[in-house]
Structure 1
Amino acid sequence: MYKKLVILGGGESGIGAALLAKAKAYDVLLMDEGSLKEGYRNELVKAGIEFIEKEIDEKRLLEADEVVKSPGIPEKNQWVKKLRAARIPVISEIELAYRHKGDSRIIAITGSNGKSTTTSLIYHMCKQAEMSCALVGNIGYSFAKQIAEDPKEWYVAEISSFQLDDIQTFRPDIAVLLNITEDHLDRYDYKFENYISSKFRIAMNQTSNDYFIYNLDDEVITDYLRENSIQSNKLPISMKQEVVKGAFIKDDEMHVQTGSEQMEMSVYDFALKGKHNQFNTMAACVAGSTVDIRKDKIREAVQTFESLEHRMEPVATVRGVEFINDSKATNVNSTWFALESMTKPVVLILGGVDKGNDYSAIMEMVQEKVKAIVCMGVDNTKIVEKFKDVVKVVSTSSAIEAVNDAFKVATVGDVVLLSPACASFDLFKNYEDRGTQFKEAVRNL
């Protein structure tokens, strides 16, 4: 076992990794170039973990036997480059957690869109079935910290491509790959194939005892599977064809079969609406069935699930205008799904930090459903240029301004939809902060 462990980055995953490493008797040092949040700093002090903030001690970093890197730190970071040059192993927090999980089992979910919703629905299912389980990973609670403080028999983990980039042995018992669309290309040398390979790392270490649930209607996924073999048991989900094992929807009826168990359910009974959520629900039902959750419990979970904050979240109806917060839509595809589920005329709030977005993907949806676009960002040039000849486009630089301008354009029966298709850190701390400010502005109308 490596003894001298340096944790690079002091966010949720870094603190979790430090606490687990300390509990497992590693020699731990945490470093962050920025300043730590007070709560995190207090946790480290309380646990007696050494940390350095606002700088990196290069000598001590390069003396590490192994480094746990925050998923937010890119490969092009100078310290990561130095670690690579020195051949010091760099792992992610989920890799460290995996090594110390004991006999616990993992359901891991990835994809460009729908991860949080599907992860939360599977967790809701496990809770309904009274399983010993925890919700971890990219969704908010550190996997490593959960293992250190309150281990469970099952972990339902939302996993991003950034977390998968630095795994070595991480192997979920059940892996779910929802879809792959162009996202985060700035982190993958603007090569889509690099991002695709990163997503498929979720199944990299799986064996014939494991399960791989995937979207059969996603051409990017099926093209990859034609060229590359996966060792686990494949369970496809589809809306276009009937499958023997997995799940499909035909004539508004979902059919699920994993082992000898079969289950049918009408899509009209799903708590989550919209076509994309039918895929998310199918994936969750297959996962639930694979871990032998009873049919009645799966059905109950699907009917009682409440959607997440910042994901197609109804905020309020003000003088006949409905406001929806989809701040979690940080890529173009997410915004496409949001528009696809709209049945009323839309005033769309778009914009933020562009990650190499191609807005052509939503052009048809905009022409069909959007009456005006309100840009909300520091630099709105790309969006304005793309849509100015198609719909009315207004530029703003704050949530309050965006909400007020959208409300002016909207008429009774319209929807004002915040679905930005961009990252948030030009004007906001993160997508949660963006969604919260949007809701606040709506309530102050």
Structure 2
Amino acid sequence: MKKAIVFGAGISGRGSRKTLEKMGYKVFLVDDKIGISSEKGIEILNNDKIGLFIKSPGTPYTHLVERAIELDIEVLDDIELGYRYKISNGIKGKIIATTGTNGKTTVTSKISELLEVAGFKSKVCGNIGFSFSETILENPDLDFYVLEASSYQLENIKQFKADIALVVNLSPDHLSRYRDLDHYYDTKFKIGNNQKENDYFIVNTSCSEVLKRLDEISGTKIFIGTALSNFEEKTYLKEEQIISEDEFILETSLASLKGRHNLENMLFIITVGKILNISTEIIREFLYSTKNLEHRMENCFNYGKVEFVNDSKGTNIDSTKFAVEAFKNPILICGGFDKNLNLAPLEELIKKNVKEVYLIGEISDKIEEGLMKINYPKDRIFNLKYLDSVLKELKFKLKKNEKETVLFSPATSSFDQFKNFEERGRIFKELVKSYFS
């Protein structure tokens, strides 16, 4: 019998195990918390004839992974496994794959929703919370698999190919994982690997790091941008309108997705719709009526004139910058896991735009120190470490009849105190309601 190891028992790992078992493998699920220990996993590698090693995206490159590589065992991820299962079983649904530093969840979710409105069978998967391989396994009759791929999930792809690939944008992130920014950006660009001329790669001409990598694109390039340039963008902004192939699509002021970052997101959504021949009327009505995602610029509670905004999806500095600039002098709650990023842009953003800042997580002391160095007033910095302490403090300070925006946009990952950004956002909303209801 064929044998495989799956390292990591999260959503991706459990999905990989299910797919491998369907493929006839005996699967050893290694996870130091709830599965076989890594130490036992090394014994299995040494003594059993393991044919395949699936590494979950969140797991680091430990001795177990290194040992698999030493033994010339193929190390893959769930995306690659799902693609191979799809091809070997003649599953015909097309893959629309999205990555980028910011906006990829919105773009992925809204593309899938648009496809469903237009009458296609579609599901989101990948980094958005569903194993890619398991989604293909359980839904072989879909028209489209709309995949959100993090850089972690793209590290070990080999044969994977997207019919339509998107890199929304590239900005600094995850330097605790990658040796430098080019390493991180190049890993993101693997989403276009193996494309042919009949596949599409949507190029954001507003992102300089994307433009640096044009020679790496093997699919047909479709250019989009926030302005018309010498790239002759297919979809672009013109004053307060979005135009695609010289056709008016929508008035940006009427779109339900607000904020400068969502203008860029809509360019991708519209362009995918146009590639797939979805009518302008359907696209326009969809973007005039669709809702913001949970945990992304989500107006989650009003306490009199005080507005609480849950932007837990703000997991890097650029994302939080978009959120802060959407409001006038918000009260900002930020901080979390230290990703070894340059915090100077965040500190300058706070100094220029934020009324008060409340700091949480392991990075809080570092942000406070940086703010003090650039003379942000000490009496406007509250380094309280924990969300509960922040909301308790705000309960005593905020007055219902005074207009304020309390923005929870952490600017980094959640792993120091929470399982993921969803849990972090959910707990924020629960705490707000418990203190302010």
What TM-score do the two structures reach when normalised by structure 1?
0.90
- How does 1:150-229 map onto structure 2 within 5 Å? 150-151=139-140, 152-189=142-179, 191-225=180-214, 228-229=215-216
Deviations 1:214-272 (A, max 9, x none): 211111111222xx331111112211324534311011110113xxx945211112110
How many aligned residue pairs are there?
A: 421
Question: Is 1:278 aligned to 2:263, yes or no?
Answer: yes
Deviations 1:143-202 (A, max 9, x none): 11112222222101100001110100110000010111111111112x111001101101
The Cα of 1:120 is off from its aligned counterpart by 0.6
- Residue identity in the other structure for 1:400: D
Look up the SS of the partner of 1:172 in the other structure. Answer: coil
Q: 2:386 aligns with which of 388, 392, 398?
A: 398
- Distance in 2 separating the partners of 1:61 and 1:406: 53
- Residue identity in the other structure for 2:419: K
- Note the residue ranges of structure 2 that are not aligned, 5 or more in a row: none
- How does 1:367-406 map onto structure 2 within 5 Å? 367-388=351-372, 389-391=375-377, 392-406=380-394
The Cα of 1:126 is off from its aligned counterpart by 0.5
- Note the residue ranges of structure 1 that are not aligned, 5 or more in a row: 37-51
Question: Which residue in the other structure is 1:78 paired with?
Answer: 63
Question: Which residue in the other structure is 2:228 paired with?
Answer: 241
Q: 1:264 aligns with which of 242, 249, 252?
A: 249
Question: Is 1:87 aligned to 2:87, yes or no?
Answer: no
Deviations 1:288-312 (A, max 9, x none): 1112222222112212211111111
- Residue identity in the other structure for 2:134: K
- Distance in 1 separating the partners of 2:54 and 2:23: 15
Question: Is 1:420 aligned to 2:406, yes or no?
Answer: no
- Distance in 1 separating the partners of 2:138 and 2:405: 44
- Distance in 2 separating the partners of 1:236 and 1:34: 46
Look up the SS of the partner of 1:100 in the other structure. Answer: helix
Whether the 8 Å CA contact 1:350–1:376 is kept in 2: the answer is: yes
Whether the 8 Å CA contact 2:298–2:311 is kept in 1: the answer is: yes
> Is the alpha carbon distance of 1:187 and 1:68 closer, same or farther for their aligned partners in structure 2, counting shifts above 3 Å?
same
> Is the alpha carbon distance of 1:20 and 1:386 closer, same or farther for their aligned partners in structure 2, counting shifts above 3 Å?
same
- Distance in 2 separating the partners of 1:136 and 1:149: 12
Deviations 1:398-436 (A, max 9, x none): 222112334555562221111011211222222112111
Whether the 8 Å CA contact 1:271–1:306 is kept in 2: the answer is: yes
- Distance in 2 separating the partners of 1:284 and 1:431: 24
- Residue identity in the other structure for 1:365: L
Whether the 8 Å CA contact 1:173–1:206 is kept in 2: the answer is: yes
Question: Which residue in the other structure is 2:422 paired with?
Answer: 432
Look up the SS of the partner of 2:228 in the other structure. Answer: coil
- How does 1:352-371 map onto structure 2 within 5 Å? 352-371=336-355
- Residue identity in the other structure for 1:241: L
- Distance in 2 separating the partners of 1:345 and 1:149: 48
**Larger CA deviation: 377-386 vs 200-209:** 377-386
Taking every aligned residue pair, what percent have the same amino acid on both sides? 35
Question: Is 1:230 aligned to 2:217, yes or no?
Answer: yes
Q: 2:286 aligns with which of 298, 301, 307?
A: 301
The Cα of 1:352 is off from its aligned counterpart by 0.8
Question: Which residue in the other structure is 1:106 paired with?
Answer: 95
Whether the 8 Å CA contact 2:347–2:367 is kept in 1: the answer is: no
Q: 1:149 aligns with which of 125, 135, 138?
A: 138
**Larger CA deviation: 401-410 vs 138-147:** 401-410
What TM-score do the two structures reach when normalised by structure 2?
0.92
Pairwise CA RMSD: 1.8
Question: Which residue in the other structure is 1:49 paired with?
Answer: none
Question: Which residue in the other structure is 1:119 paired with?
Answer: 108
**Larger CA deviation: 136-145 vs 262-271:** 262-271
